[in-house]
Chain A
Amino acid sequence: MEKKKKANLLYSQKVAPYVFVLPFIICFAIFWVYPLISSFVMSTEKIGAITREFVGLQNYKKLLTDKVFHTALINSLEYTVFTCALLIPFPMLYAVLMDGNLVKAKGVWKAMMYVPALTSVVISGTLFRLMFTEYKTGQMNVLMAALGLPAFKWLKVKWTSEIALLTLCCWRWTGVNTLYFMSGLKAIDKTLYESAKIDGANSHQLFKYITLPLLKPTTIYVLTISIYAGLAMFLESFMLWSGNDSPKNIGLTIVGYLYKRGIQKNDMGYACAVGVVLMVIALVINFIQLGLNGTLKEEKD
């Protein structure tokens, strides 16, 4: 009797689905929910080598006056804004160009643009560090010398180091984003263009009234992941300065600061507070962004 009940339970239509999703639920709980909750808990504690005490919101209070954190925050936000400004219009333009008849040997171009994304950040970061070195032998300074300008300490000055970071980022991600936009373009019905042309629309109007609006889902997707990638950037700057320390912290990002506090200084409580703040910032920015472009609105049709 008992056995039969058990078997029934297994075969029951109500239970079976839960069995199938169980692996995911367990992974989700262990690797997502638990760390998330414990991050919140730890962020209210002062965790020393052998001590652990509850300090309430003290870590967050300290964040308010922590200048290094503010520098890291500004660096990350700036980087995010610049990468979004560069990595959406240009890839979109390239995608439109590639989609048209102007470009020959499209496969070659696509492959060339995509290859950088396959290289390890560690290797490309190291190469960029060598290119932007302050010695006269670095590529950038050789270029400067060719232009008759003096050697420059690229990675010791804020704006030039930002150029190095953005160049690295664009070099790596332009191809990927271009591919996103190209697949977006493929989804647009060609007949729309034809009928518009018959109505006398020029190419500028075609782009503005057909391509741009119909690419919107792709654009939103690219924008969203760009924001997350920008805010979570760490390895690029870690490699560019071959470590987490840069002159006047010009290369320090929020995640870099989290790593510095948590791993390098063994100050886990404070690092968790940094992580929680980062998460809140990312959420807020993206909700605003999604709200503004209408993704969160109820569908009218």
Chain B
Amino acid sequence: MKKKALSMMLASVLAAGMLAGCSNAVSEATADDSSSGGDAAAAGTEAAADAATEDASADSTESGDTATAVTTVGDANGTHMELWSFVEAHNTFYAKMVDKWNQENPDRTIQVTFTTYPYADMHQKLLMSLEAGEGAPDICDVEMGQVPNVYAGLDTWLYPLDDAMAPYKDDMLQSRLKAYQGSDGKQYGAPFHVGATVMYYNLGVLEKYGITQDDVDAVVTWDDWAALGQKYLDALKDAGEADGKYWTSVDTGGTDWLWLAMAEYGEDWTGGFDEKANVQLDSVKNMLTMQQDWLNSGLAEVSPDGHVDLEAGYQNILDHNIVSFPKAMWYMSRFTNYMPEEKGNWYIAKCPVFKEGQNCSVGIGGTGTVVTQQASDPALAADFLCYAKMSPEGEQMIWDDLGFDVCNTSLWTDDAFAHDDNNQYNQFFRNYPYDVLAEIKDQIGTIMTVKISPTINEYVNNTTLNEILEDGDNVDDCLQELQDAVDAEQ
């Protein structure tokens, strides 16, 4: 009898240990994650990467070595602050802005300690510290995909930026500010960039096969675009070089194409803050059906590892396996960082649309930097943050250093700003990126990022896109399945 009791007891303790064991495994995983360069976001089908891998995935290689790089900058007698980011380049940028701020505001100087963590680590740490009510930094970068999780705390967790950004507000692209508002309408995040989606073309390659810039400029609809692609592939075939070459690659690990389609139709699958999410939209169906056709006709391939903003994607572009794809403006920095050989080849144009007259772009990705309620001086932190990310001085540095399409629209047509030939991006591409941006200024749609967004993104990236694009399953059935999964959460 004793033995029986003993073995039952042992079994129970072992099983109960699973609960404790979980947390062990988790902490080990996250700890080790830092050593592997935070490549949680570099996964082929990464859902957090969703539409907004943006900085996280590509910078995993950079931030890997400096997983917990800590630096302190500023006036030692000033107010001390902590700032966390998941991209080292962001911190370098903030550090420069701290010096500028201290020069301009000698009576309100600050000293900031910067810490760069890997993507997943930083967001989890932030969430935990906000929940616990202590340990959070004064200022923190929050990646778009994580915004719903962090902004859920509203003004219990975060300090509203409305007052601090008042001087700059009118110059900013309003749809971008809206993306970083909480469900109570207050502004909790300061944006870096618009993330306007544009079409990238490898004109250097296309010209070899008789396709000119005029041909590219003449593209209006997706049909035109596909026809141009077919023309390119036919030329390749004639030259006997078509093996392994495609016009574009479609994503199974990212929702950029779908976001673009929704913005063109003026739809939004999240339904915003007020309505329920509905993924069975014409835009989504049309885009996916069209992509299936491209795959079948050999016009497109499935992006290696799921989307183009990964090592495999850069290699694919460098190998000229694909010569045209839509991506947000911030992808420019991937070219300069990872594909410098491509200098002078690429051309930026607006995206094709389904029907003439539709909007042709959508803001994708972004970093909504927040000030926490735990800050030592929230008002000062907010003033600094808005100065750094929204003032003309800050915007200039965002463009020069980070290569983002800034939210301050008054600068887009400012010749000294947009046509500066010393700027590396102006040098890299065949045309001035801001010319394209100015042209599509009123056509940049917004897809909301709300509570249900992570659920949709995750299911789409893990399941739906794989079923439709890899397995060739029926679009309507897969979207119904997705809708069911989403409905279970709302």
A295 contacts across to B, CB distance below 8 A:
3, 7
B132 contacts across to A, CB distance below 8 A:
none
Name which residue of chain B comes closest to A153, CB basis.
B470
Name which residue of chain B comes closest to A220, CB basis.
B7
Q: Which of B11, B32, B40, B120 contacts A120 (CB 8 A)?
A: B32
* A286 close to B15 (CB less than 8 A): yes
Check: A46 CB closer than 8 A to any chain B CB. no
Check: B45 CB closer than 8 A to any chain A CB. yes
* B36 close to A228 (CB less than 8 A): no
| Contact bitstring B4-46, A, C-beta under 8 A = 1, else 0 | 1001100111111111111001101100100110011111111
Shortest 10 CB-CB contacts between residues of A and residues of B = A49-B152, A243-B43, A122-B32, A49-B153, A282-B15, A247-B466, A242-B43, A243-B40, A245-B47, A50-B156
A contact residues, total (Cβ < 8 Å): 59
Check: A241 CB closer than 8 A to any chain B CB. yes
Q: Of A98-106, A182-190, A255-263, which stretch is located at the interface?
A: A255-263
Check: A2 CB closer than 8 A to any chain B CB. no
A266 contacts across to B, CB distance below 8 A:
127, 131, 149, 152
* B29 close to A247 (CB less than 8 A): no
* B29 close to A235 (CB less than 8 A): yes
B127 contacts across to A, CB distance below 8 A:
266
Q: Which of A36, A224, A241, A247 contacts B16 (CB 8 A)?
A: A36
Q: Which of B4, B19, B153, B462 contacts A279 (CB 8 A)?
A: B19
Check: B124 CB closer than 8 A to any chain A CB. yes
A235 contacts across to B, CB distance below 8 A:
25, 28-29
Q: Which of B18, B25, B39, B120 contacts A231 (CB 8 A)?
A: B18
Check: B239 CB closer than 8 A to any chain A CB. no
Check: B458 CB closer than 8 A to any chain A CB. yes
A298 CA / B2 CA spacing, docked (Å): 8
A67 contacts across to B, CB distance below 8 A:
484-485, 488
In chain A, positions 111-157 with a C-beta closer than 8 Å to chain B are: 120, 122, 126, 134-135, 153, 155-156
Check: B313 CB closer than 8 A to any chain A CB. no
15 extra A-B contacts, CB within 8 A, seeds A120-B32, A275-B22: A32-B13, A65-B488, A134-B304, A228-B15, A238-B29, A242-B46, A247-B470, A248-B463, A249-B463, A259-B22, A263-B124, A265-B454, A266-B131, A290-B7, A295-B3
Output the least CB separation between B243 and chain A (Å). Answer: 13
Name which residue of chain A comes closest to B457, CB basis.
A245
Check: A299 CB closer than 8 A to any chain B CB. yes
Check: A283 CB closer than 8 A to any chain B CB. yes
A220 CA / B18 CA spacing, docked (Å): 19
* B462 close to A247 (CB less than 8 A): yes
Residues of B within 8 A of A (CB): 1, 3-4, 7-8, 11-22, 25-26, 28-29, 32, 35-36, 39-48, 120, 124, 127, 130-131, 149, 152-154, 156-157, 252, 304-305, 312, 454-455, 458-459, 461-463, 466-467, 470, 484-485, 488
A134 contacts across to B, CB distance below 8 A:
304-305
User: Provided the pairs A297-B4, A298-B4 are in contact, do residues A232 and B29 lie with their beta carbons within 8 angstroms?
Assistant: no
Output the least CB separation between A281 and chain B (Å). Answer: 9
Number of A-B contacts (CB under 8 A): 162
Name which residue of chain A comes closest to B481, CB basis.
A67
* B45 close to A241 (CB less than 8 A): yes
B19 contacts across to A, CB distance below 8 A:
35-36, 39, 275, 278-279
Check: A287 CB closer than 8 A to any chain B CB. yes
User: Provided the pairs A245-B45, A245-B462, A297-B4 are in contact, do residues A49 and B157 lie with their beta carbons within 8 angstroms?
Assistant: yes
* A234 close to B22 (CB less than 8 A): yes
B462 contacts across to A, CB distance below 8 A:
245-249
Find the residue from A244, A245, A275, A283 having the highest chain B CB count within 10 A.
A245
A65 CA / B488 CA spacing, docked (Å): 8
Name which residue of chain B comes closest to A65, CB basis.
B488
Output the least CB separation between B295 and chain A (Å). Answer: 14
Output the least CB separation between A283 and chain B (Å). Answer: 5
Output the least CB separation between A240 and chain B (Å). Answer: 10
* B154 close to A296 (CB less than 8 A): no
A239 CA / B29 CA spacing, docked (Å): 8
Output the least CB separation between B183 and chain A (Å). Answer: 11
Q: Can you spell out 17 A-B residue pairs with CB atoms less than 8 angstroms apart?
A: A36-B19, A39-B19, A243-B42, A243-B43, A247-B466, A248-B462, A255-B25, A258-B22, A264-B120, A264-B124, A265-B454, A266-B131, A279-B15, A279-B18, A279-B19, A282-B14, A299-B3
User: Provided the pairs A50-B156, A248-B462 are in contact, do residues A35 and B7 lie with their beta carbons within 8 angstroms?
Assistant: no
* A32 close to B45 (CB less than 8 A): no
A287 contacts across to B, CB distance below 8 A:
8, 11
A197 contacts across to B, CB distance below 8 A:
none
A275 CA / B18 CA spacing, docked (Å): 8
Check: A66 CB closer than 8 A to any chain B CB. yes
A31 CA / B43 CA spacing, docked (Å): 34
A156 CA / B149 CA spacing, docked (Å): 29
Check: A216 CB closer than 8 A to any chain B CB. no
A156 CA / B471 CA spacing, docked (Å): 10
Q: Which of B11, B13, B39, B463 contacts A290 (CB 8 A)?
A: B11
A50 CA / B47 CA spacing, docked (Å): 25
A258 CA / B20 CA spacing, docked (Å): 12
Output the least CB separation between A12 and chain B (Å). Answer: 27
* A296 close to B149 (CB less than 8 A): no
A235 CA / B30 CA spacing, docked (Å): 10
A65 CA / B485 CA spacing, docked (Å): 10
Output the least CB separation between B465 and chain A (Å). Answer: 9
* A241 close to B153 (CB less than 8 A): no
| Contact bitstring A272-285, B, C-beta under 8 A = 1, else 0 | 00010011001100
Output the least CB separation between A284 and chain B (Å). Answer: 9
User: Provided the pairs A49-B152, A156-B466, A248-B463 are in contact, do residues A232 and B11 lie with their beta carbons within 8 angstroms?
Assistant: no
| Contact bitstring A66-85, B, C-beta under 8 A = 1, else 0 | 11100000000000000000
User: Provided the pairs A68-B485, A299-B3 are in contact, do residues A263 and B26 lie with their beta carbons within 8 angstroms?
Assistant: yes
Name which residue of chain A comes closest to B10, CB basis.
A224
Find the residue from A32, A249, A264 having the highest chain B CB count within 10 A.
A264
B21 contacts across to A, CB distance below 8 A:
232
* B467 close to A248 (CB less than 8 A): yes
* A234 close to B25 (CB less than 8 A): yes
B15 contacts across to A, CB distance below 8 A:
228, 279, 282-283, 286
A65 contacts across to B, CB distance below 8 A:
488
* A232 close to B4 (CB less than 8 A): no
A266 CA / B146 CA spacing, docked (Å): 11
Q: Which of A245, A263, A299 contacts B458 (CB 8 A)?
A: A245
Output the least CB separation between B270 and chain A (Å). Answer: 16
Name which residue of chain B comes closest to A275, CB basis.
B19
A172 CA / B443 CA spacing, docked (Å): 55
